Structure 1
Amino acid sequence: MGGPDRSGRAVHPAVDRVHVVVPDGIDDPARVSGGNRYDREVCDDLRNAGWTVVEIAAPGSWPRPDATALDALARSLDALPAGDLVLVDGLIASAARPVLVPRSGRLRLVVLVHMVFGGDAVDERDELAVLAAARAVVTTSAWTREQLLDRYALSPARVHVAHPGTWTAPASPGTAGGGRLLCVGALAPHKGQDLLLAALARTAGLPWRCTLVGPLDRDPLFVASLQRQAGDAGIADRVRIPGPRTGAALQLEYRGADVLVVPSRTETYGMAITEALATGLPVIAAEVGGVPEAVGRTASGVPGLLVPPDDSDALAAALARWLTDAEVRCRLRRAALRRRETLPDWRTTGRRIRTVLSAVGAERERPPLRTEW
């Protein structure tokens, strides 16, 4: 259970038991997100591998918690045995300096970073303090790891990558014309659906229909502006906005599409990209953040078209190229099917996470903390 025994010697904690701090409601289909999906898959994999997993749901508006949310998290952690492993979702961890740093000597903290805040919503000093206090940090992309190491003075040996996995899915049959466009992600400015609608307005003379799948409650004003934008451009009847989709319903959207469009302004990886590639769908995406890492490359080339970020003209040109050039569509589909064969599955992700947790659990002494933040 951790702590000294009667002789004063440190007792080695269990290395197959972990407490996982996750946002409250991670399984709510109305609050679907890549981070929530990742957390659920990791918890399930740990259990399948024989680990004891205790989930701690952290209520509150993270990453901007109020005092009540911080107090609830503190009480949950104070109830844990000394020396226990605690894996904390970065949405919570980065904003929980007052709770996590004072407890980092008693608990073996590992932080799972889905995105770097770095002054946006969370003060850089708070984020650094938490990451420096953690025994290890896991990121979901190499790009995110590089961002952390560039921004903060962290030991590279303590910062690891565990890419999101995928599950095997039937290949999308596609259509000859390639006009079924799909965009998956919360309808919010950082996902860039306004850029996509602007690009679609420029290609209104071509045959296409577009579906925007994702939660509608993150920024209702933005959703309303998208609906006005589509109406003003005369394309509202060709744009479907069905709300969030998960599980089999989301797989149906992938199978019914010809290409995934990712117009994001920021993206640390892009789980929708690998999910689409798992069904053989090519990708048209803004070349931002970890997107190129997710898209990947095959012997048949890149399974998609990458365009400059925040550039609706470049996106329109890529869409027009896809819609008008059958040879391009065939080439990208071949590459997507090859990429489908090389994607890591969630078991691979789980093994990486377990390796990090096991190493932290095996540490007998707390490494010294950095204090110059």
Structure 2
Amino acid sequence: MSRDLIFAYPGDIETRTGGYGYDRRVIAALRDIGWNVEPLSLGEGFPNPSAAQLEAAGRMLSELPESSLVLIDGLAFGVMDECAVREAKRLKIMALVHHPLALETGLEHRQQKTLASREKTALAQTRGIIVTSHTTAAELSANYAVPAEKITVAIPGMDPAPLSKARGEPPLILSIGTLTRRKGHDVLIAALEKLSDLSWDCRIVGSRTLDPDTSAALERQIIQSGLGDRIELAGQIDDPRNEFSRADIFALASRYEGYGMVFAEALAQGLPIVGCAAGAVPEVVPRSAGFLVPPDDPKAFAVALRRLLEEPETRIAMADAAATAGAKLPSWRDTAAIISDVLEAAS
């Protein structure tokens, strides 16, 4: 049996997001267990490619040898419906869905409907679908007509990392996520405005280049809040472990997460969490380790943060619970083993 795999993805695999991070680690872990993985960039523009970009990506797949086993990241595959229909009988197509494209924050209803229809068509052409959470699996079964037996959940692995020893004065609130609307940094900043009477600093880590308009809006919001000396937009960091190790609280107000790798990383390093009960976040963060509030609710987010800031005993108890939950997370080798079994069945 061949262990040759083409792993196709949009853009640059080194892009610092959770989805690309998952792709990089899975490629490396599959190679470690004996797979010959050939990375294939499908080009720029996804998930909103121009006609020329989409045609070029489709041409790359059409040039692959017949019967090639191809795992395609959903950020591109979700809008490659016509190509999927054309190539399904020639290639062994698998899809990796971090979360459905139609669930991205800020889309108009018409855009959501179009994306959902295209992704549903594309997914129907696959031999199997890998998802990163049970929440996404349920979404595909309920709304994308994907049979449950066609879906495999392979949650992200986790590397061993030192527990945070921070007991800051003032406490350091850490948030990590690209500066896009879905990550809800605007909600976090609005919540922090309600906590100006308390002692804290906040560091927001994440790329500013993927959504320049949101990045500029956040900068203006911080200036208008008068908290520019306490809230820092730190930009992109290649290795976040040092960020977690010196923080006291992790806070991210995501409006949706297909999994939320950064929440798992916070657990692994023993940080109490404030987040939103959106997408798969409740699947990742146990109640003992943090507070999850409704999305888009700065007041509720502020109340949760205030408890952790004003109640050191609650903060410590949740930090201990986070470390316990983090220790139970799988390794990347575990994740790759699950994916490997699915790929073998499809090859």
After TM superposition, the score normalised by the length of structure 1 is: 0.88
3-state SS in 1 of match to 2:101: coil
Partner of residue 233, structure 1: 225
Give the counterpart of 2:83 among 89, 99, 118. 99
Deviation at 1:351, TM superposition (A): 0.8
Match of 1:86 among 70, 76, 87: 70
- 1: CA distance, partners of 2:221 / 2:181: 14
Relative distance call for 1:73 and 1:232 in structure 2 (3 A) is closer
Quick one: which amino acid aligns to residue 295 of structure 2?
A: P
The superposition leaves residues 203-236 of structure 1 with CA deviations (integer Å, 9 ceiling, x where unpaired) of: 0111100001001012222222222222222111
* Structure 2 counterpart of 1:334, one-letter code: D
- 235, 240, 255: which one aligns with 1:243: 235
Which residue number corresponds to residue 336 of structure 1? 322
**Do structure 1's residue 266 and structure 2's residue 256 form an aligned pair?**
yes
Aligned to 1:253: 243
Q: For residues 303-351 of structure 1, what are the alpha-carbon distances to aligned partners after superposition, in whole Å with 9 as ceiling and x for unaligned? A: 1111111100000000110000122112101101211210111111111
For 1:108, give the aligned amino acid: K
Which residue of the other structure, out of 294, 299, 302, is the alignment partner of 2:284? 294
Asked whether the equivalents of residues 178 and 329 of structure 1 are also in contact (C-alpha less than 8 Å), the reply is no
Match of 2:302?
Answer: 316
Q: Structure 2 CA distance, aligned partners of 1:321 and 1:132?
A: 47
Alignment equivalent of 2:136, drawn from 121, 141, 144: 144
**1:1-37 residue CA offsets vs partner (Å, 9 max, x unmatched):** xxxxxxxxxxxxx43111110122111xxx3111100
What corresponds to 2:10 in structure 1?
Answer: 23
The equivalent position to 1:37 in structure 2, one of 13, 21, 44, is 21
Structure 2 portions without partners, runs of 5+: 103-110
Contact 1:136/1:158 (<8 A) preserved: yes
Distance 2:11 2:34 in 1: 24
Residue 121 of structure 1: CA displacement? 8.5
Q: In the aligned structure 1, how far is the partner of 2:299 from the partner of 2:283? A: 24
CA change 1:56–1:170 in 2 (3 A) is same
Mapping for residues 217-232 of structure 1, pairs under 5 Å: 217-232=209-224
1:304 to 285, 290, 295: 290
Q: Distance in 1 between matches of 2:237 and 2:129?
A: 30
| Structure 1 vs Structure 2 CA RMSD | 1.5
Provide the secondary structure at the position in 1 that maps to 2:89.
coil
Secondary structure (helix, strand or coil) at the match of 2:291 reads strand
Residue 77 of structure 1 is matched in structure 2 by 61
Amino acid in the other structure paired with 2:64: L
Question: Counterparts in 2 of 1:359-370, with a 5 A limit?
Answer: 359-361=345-347
Question: Is 1:180 equivalent to 2:172 in the alignment?
Answer: yes
Larger Rg: 1
**Inter-CA distance 218–24: structure 2 relative to 1 (3 Å threshold):** closer
Q: Quick one: structure 1 residues 287 and 257, their matched pair in 2 at CA, closer, same or farther if it must change by over 3 Å?
A: same
Q: Is the 8 A contact 2:177 2:183 kept in 1?
A: yes
1:53 aligns with 37
Unaligned runs of 5+ in 1: 1-13, 362-373
Q: Distance in 1 between matches of 2:322 and 2:304?
A: 17
Query: Which of 191, 201, 223 lines up with 2:193 in the alignment?
Result: 201
Deviation at 1:104, TM superposition (A): 0.5
Q: Please state if 1:123 is matched with 2:115.
A: yes
SS in 2 for 1:175: coil
**What SS does the corresponding residue of 2:124 show, helix, strand or coil?**
helix
What secondary structure does 1:133 align onto?
Answer: coil
Change in Cα spacing, 1:34 to 1:122, as seen in structure 2 (3 Å) is farther
Equivalents in 2 of 1:115, 1:292: separation in Å? 15
Is the partner of 1:153 in helix, strand or coil?
A: coil
Q: 1:122–1:32: structure 2 CA closer, same or farther, 3 Å change rule?
A: farther
Letter in 2 for 1:246: D
Partners in 2 of 1:23 and 1:44 — Cα distance?
Answer: 18
Counterparts of 1:192 and 1:128 in 2: how far apart (Å)? 27
State the distance in 2 between where 1:166 and 1:337 align: 13
Give 1:130 deviation, angstroms: 0.8
Aligned residues of 2:168 and 2:247 also touching (Cα < 8 A): no
Provide TM-score, normalisation by structure 2.
0.94
